[in-house]
Structure 1
Amino acid sequence: MKFAVTSKGDSKSDKLVDVIKTYLLDFELEYDEEEPDIVISVGGDGTLLYAFHRYSSRLDKTAFVGMHTGHLGFYADWTPDALEKLVIAVAKTSYKPVEYPLLEVVVHYQGEEKATRYLALNESTVKSIEGTFVMDVEIKGEHFERFRGDGLCISTPSGSTAYNKALGGAIVHPSLEAIQLAEMASINNRVFRTVGSPLILPAHHTCVLKPVNGQKFQISVDHLTLLHKEVKSIQYRVADEKIRFARYRSFPFWKRVHDSFISE
């Protein structure tokens, strides 16, 4: 089996990476950063996000496992004190594959047939560069509302605990194939009106945002934020691809939620 290891970049994570690589090579596994069967992320959720985007072109061939060197993460379930157990599990046992849905983001441009496609593990946000953010929201090809406010956030179920939660969105279990649309400071008065609540859309529903004011927008995909010009529309849906995690032990989602937000 071929493996790769990614690091947060701090000294603690780098040292753990060196140990993991040495142990797995001793077990006669092959180190391959280009075409790994399994990627071990050492750091936190941000490190695993980086690894996901690095290997997003081979999601059907690569599984991910995370070790956190700081606070408990939603993707990184192993701790440094369990390093030897993780190494033995990777080298000697078969993992249980656990798949999470992803968000497909397709940006179309004025006067161009080509579009830009992204995959998000957590979320995508859209904000205007100048003036009030005004966007027509279509769901399943039908006009739903005209949104005015600071912006919109579209998240995956696993990403629902991140920025989406801070916006008042629901926490969605990642076994559900869905995406969630949450508002950022919508303008609601006697003239302008939005639904005012997060929307959870199933896999067969597509959400399309069409600009009303302006064509330049700041669009984020997880940790990547880019300025897009001449935007005609932004399409969101549950992606055909999924991320696959290598589970060697139980890692219940609701326990992660409890430990992250409730447990002292």
Structure 2
Amino acid sequence: MNDATTGVAMAVDPLVTRVLAPNPSPYTHTGTQSYLVGTTDLAVIDPGPDDPAHVQALLDAIDRRPVVAILCTHTHRDHSPAAAALKAATGAPVMGCAPLRVNGAGPGADAAFDPDYAPDRILQDGDSVAGQGWTLVAVATPGHTSNHVAFALPEARALFSGDHVMGWSTSVVAPPDGDMGAYMASLEKLIGRDDRIYFPGHGDAVENPQRLVRGMLGHRKQREGQILRLLRADPLAIPAMVARMYVGLDPRLARAAAGSVLAHLIDLRGRGLVHEEAGQWKSAA
């Protein structure tokens, strides 16, 4: 099970150490998990929120060893902001996902994103960084965000899956930046890989990743079918769909559920299956 003790370096693999940030919430589970990869020299994956106590916990775990790279899977505020402080403390370059500025959907659309993220190197799909006894290879996995990147560790047949695949919950895919079609394609991409374990941004390590990814694809297809059935019966606005689809939902997650429904609707509209008129969504069938 996932030990929820924050600030403590925990070995989860001979090459991987985890440090949990003190930011639990309905969206982050027990908190954001930062990972140290390597033994002699290190990479840090997802340094986490800009929290001095968490940065110090990472420095304690690093224990004066050289840091080759600070890598970020994406730029949500619980994953990348500590990169700047960690770079200042270690001198390591920041790399991984591209910076992102979200436009559209009104004021505050980009509030969840880190506006100060400034990578020294952007890793494209297949690019790599290496240290003594380890290699990290970028695996582009857009969907949760358009700039999301996972990192494969071939020496352990492991994948640092960020928020794309998590053991505790499905990923939030919410417009304007979240893209359901891209998310589904990224899940399909992972099915074609042979990773034995995922280390996610939140929640337990995933020890049977192929089965989980297939289940996530099935879950999304079920949601898609549910939306189509509802709209074949009646035109509906998104709040009405959320109420029918997510019975018993924690009210704190209502916004995320609405975003997920919208992401499905945008994908379905792009495929010619639904359309919108004055805030009401209708089946094209």
TM-score range, shorter chain: under 0.3
Q: Which structure is higher in RCO with an 8 Å CA cutoff and minimum separation 6?
A: 1
Q: What TM-score, normalized by structure 2, do the two folds share?
A: 0.25
Whose strand proportion is higher, 1 or 2?
1
